[in-house]
Amino acid sequence: MTTSVTVEPINLKTPDFYINRDLSLLEFNKRVLAQALDENVPLLERLNYLCISCSNLDEFFEVRVASIIEMATIDPKAVGSDGLTPCEQLEKISIHARQLVDEQYQVLNEVLIPKLAEENIRFIRRSDWTEAQHKWLTNYFNEQLMPILTPVGLDSAHPFPRILNKSLNFIISLTGKDAFGRNSGRAVLQAPRGLPRVVQLPANETLGGVSDFVFLSSIIHAFVSELFNGMTVKGCYQFRVTRNSDFYVDDDAIDDLLLAVEGELAMRNYGDEVRLEVDSACPDETVNFLLDRFEMNRERLFLIDGPVNLNRIQEVNALVDRPDLKFSPFKPSTPAALARNKDIFAAIKRHDILLHHPFESFSPVVEFIRQAAAAPDVLAIKQTLYRAGADSPIVAALIKAARAGKEVTVVIELRARFDEKANIDLAAKLQEAAVHVVYGVVGYKTHAKMCLVLKREGKELRNYVHLGTGNYHTKTAQLYSDYGLFSCDKDLGEDVRRVFAQLTSLGKVTKLHKLLQSPFTLHKGLLEKIEREINHAKAGKPAKIIIKINALVEEQAIQALYRASQAGVEVKLIVRGVCCLRPNIEDVSENIEVRSIIGRFLEHARIYTFLNDGNQEVYASSADLMNRNMFRRVEVCFPIESKRLSNRILHDLELYLKDNTQSWLLQSDGSYQRCVQAENDALVCAQTQILQELQA
């Protein structure tokens, strides 16, 4: 007689099964920085990657670290899915962020500057200036800088000034007395934001080559004594403060969202201090003085070896005309269905059309709205705008449509982080042209990417739609990898119309035919599809999930994927940035692979695919698997029903899964290992191959 053993189910909420969100985000920045060390990447693009990693880190402190600091004050015992308290998170972030910053300056000083110098692109230090260069820079300082610089001597009449977020500043030590007999021993100099952070020297025989640069900070260091006549400058040191740049709008206490956002926006540059960067040569006494003024401890101090505003070196890329050191330009292709037919509505009426940017042109999206604006039988246009960019041709087309008497409605998300001011200006511009502008639903960001055109065709009214995974922004469409779908499917068009009705009017949730929509059906719908794969696996049927997103944070989704792995479902995740799921845990996630693609284009498309017992389903979306996307935003997830188009997306996903040049595999400890080409494997770069295939 055998005795049965009861096996306790594994608790999938165990903190050990979750990677901290913010440490994962720092790991993403490490992968971006690794591109700056990749010798297969053109040299000036490597400099760009360094600057991007620094810009990302700025935003990380402005938003994520700032929120954790607030949480440490409000609820210090709070823990997330990973079991860490806010203070524990801040300790770990401090360690990892310092390592990243040290690596950034090491890459700049020991790798990129020497390699750029080999290509005659030089950053000339003060100690290396020739007599002619010194003379030219003296004139530059006197004529271009001194008139607009305003040093502030610190005393009772001149308190420590308000320091603008992420601005370049100098703390200056002085001896002697001024004309009034004053000297506190210190002054502060703020460099105006309009000044270039790198100054290009004229190219001639005496001054140097066509690509010789001097840091603005070096020029100010060299001539700062000119600002303090009759006094002696003992020391001059750069510093920069990063502030809390997220803002809070009380949804329950506002009457006008536009006014509330405008009010908060004015204070963004002066939020609470979260990080202090200081020149590593700065004496400890002066460092302590700055820490005291900003009421910060050393945990938030970063001593750096180079310019404190490192991301501004990105200006060099535009100043240097060296195509051989940049990515090769390419012309995005246009799908044959659109290239053959100038009438975009006729082409869509024949069959659905899929665009994959930036490999395929974004121009058809602009043309879709332009033709809608010009066509006499188009009655109405409805569109969401999250980020549109300055001088957007789409906005111009919407204005033209409104002035032509068409019904034009635009849902603008005012709280698109760091684009709030641009969106406020955009709203005013559209309203001046009699466009109906609404700001979505208070308490929920409108993140969905939708455009609907209502067209009269004989006695019938037909809805034409464009749905996308990325913003209606012509510039980012050249840099971000996204999908867009054109369709005139009746049910899909009706779904989009109903979502717009929700956003612009009042009423109960209406049932949608094909779209999954947050905050109502998207989360539940995706979990049900994962559960269906689990049931197929338990029944002995093939089961597979492929998901491509920017971030995986939401706990219920992670637990569902763990259950899928336990049931034998093959789970392939392509997660560009944050991933809180731990793969390769015995009896939990052995069937889950997580990879990140970091390449020339920012992988931005969100794709959800389910094998479904051979009846493959492919969905594209504006939403990541994050709590905010599932529950606090208006998002849409749309099916790719054409077998031809869904197979094309599946083909792209397989290329990403085979990529051995730009892929990184997530390890169970939260670190990433770069994929390398095996001995007998062909070299696969997914982005390059997709580009080649679409241009063939």
3-state secondary structure of 552: strand
* Interatomic CA distance for residues 303 and 442, integer angstroms: 42
| Same domain, residue pair 157 and 55 | yes
Separation in Å, CA 155 to CA 152, 287, 293: 9, 18, 13
Instruction: Give the per-residue pLDDT at 157.
Output: 66
| Same domain, residue pair 239 and 224 | yes
The two beta strands, 480-487 and 353-357, are: antiparallel
* Interatomic CA distance for residues 388 and 422, integer angstroms: 9
| Same domain, residue pair 234 and 281 | yes
Contact 296, 243 (CB under 8 A): no
Write the CATH number for 246.
3.30.1840.10
Q: For the chain of 696 residues, list the mean pLDDT of each consecutive stretch of 10.
A: 61 95 97 97 97 95 93 91 95 96 97 96 94 95 94 81 93 81 82 92 86 95 92 94 74 50 55 94 96 93 92 92 95 91 94 97 97 96 90 94 95 76 83 89 91 96 97 94 98 97 84 96 98 98 98 98 98 98 97 98 97 97 97 97 98 97 97 88 94 88
In a domain, 134, yes or no: yes
Instruction: Give the per-residue pLDDT at 323.
Output: 96
| Same domain, residue pair 555 and 441 | no
| Same domain, residue pair 212 and 307 | yes
Instruction: Give the per-residue pLDDT at 614.
Output: 95
Contact 426, 411 (CB under 8 A): no
In a domain, 1, yes or no: no
Helix axes 686-695, 643-658, angle to 10 degrees: 140
Instruction: Give the per-residue pLDDT at 268.
Output: 54
| Same domain, residue pair 195 and 231 | yes
Instruction: Give the per-residue pLDDT at 418.
Output: 65
Instruction: Give the per-residue pLDDT at 247.
Output: 57
Instruction: Give catalytic residues, as residue numbers.
Output: 447
In a domain, 62, yes or no: yes
| DSSP E strand stretches across 207-332 | 212-215, 232-243, 273-279, 301-304
Instruction: Give the per-residue pLDDT at 309.
Output: 85
Write the CATH number for 411.
3.30.870.10
Instruction: Give the per-residue pLDDT at 254.
Output: 45
Which residues have CB under 8 Å from 586's CB, separation 6+? Answer: none
CA 306 to chain centre: 25
Tell which of 260, 293, 325 closes a domain: 325
Opening angle at CA 58, ends 55 and 60, nearest 5: 110
Tell which of 484, 512, 540 closes a domain: 512
| Same domain, residue pair 546 and 690 | yes
**What domain range includes position 467?**
336-512
| Same domain, residue pair 354 and 303 | no
DSSP string, 73-95: HH-TT---TT---HHHHHHHHHH
In a domain, 42, yes or no: yes
Q: Whole-model pTM?
A: 0.93
In a domain, 461, yes or no: yes
In a domain, 460, yes or no: yes
Tell which of 325, 346, 362 closes a domain: 325
Q: Is 520 exposed, middle or buried (0-12, 13-18, 19+ CB in 10 A)?
A: middle
* Interatomic CA distance for residues 503 and 667, integer angstroms: 41
| Same domain, residue pair 610 and 471 | no
In a domain, 12, yes or no: no
Q: Amino acid identity of 579? A: C
| Same domain, residue pair 402 and 489 | yes
| Same domain, residue pair 163 and 288 | yes
| Same domain, residue pair 417 and 493 | yes
Instruction: Give the per-residue pLDDT at 6.
Output: 54
State the total domains in the chain: 3
In a domain, 4, yes or no: no
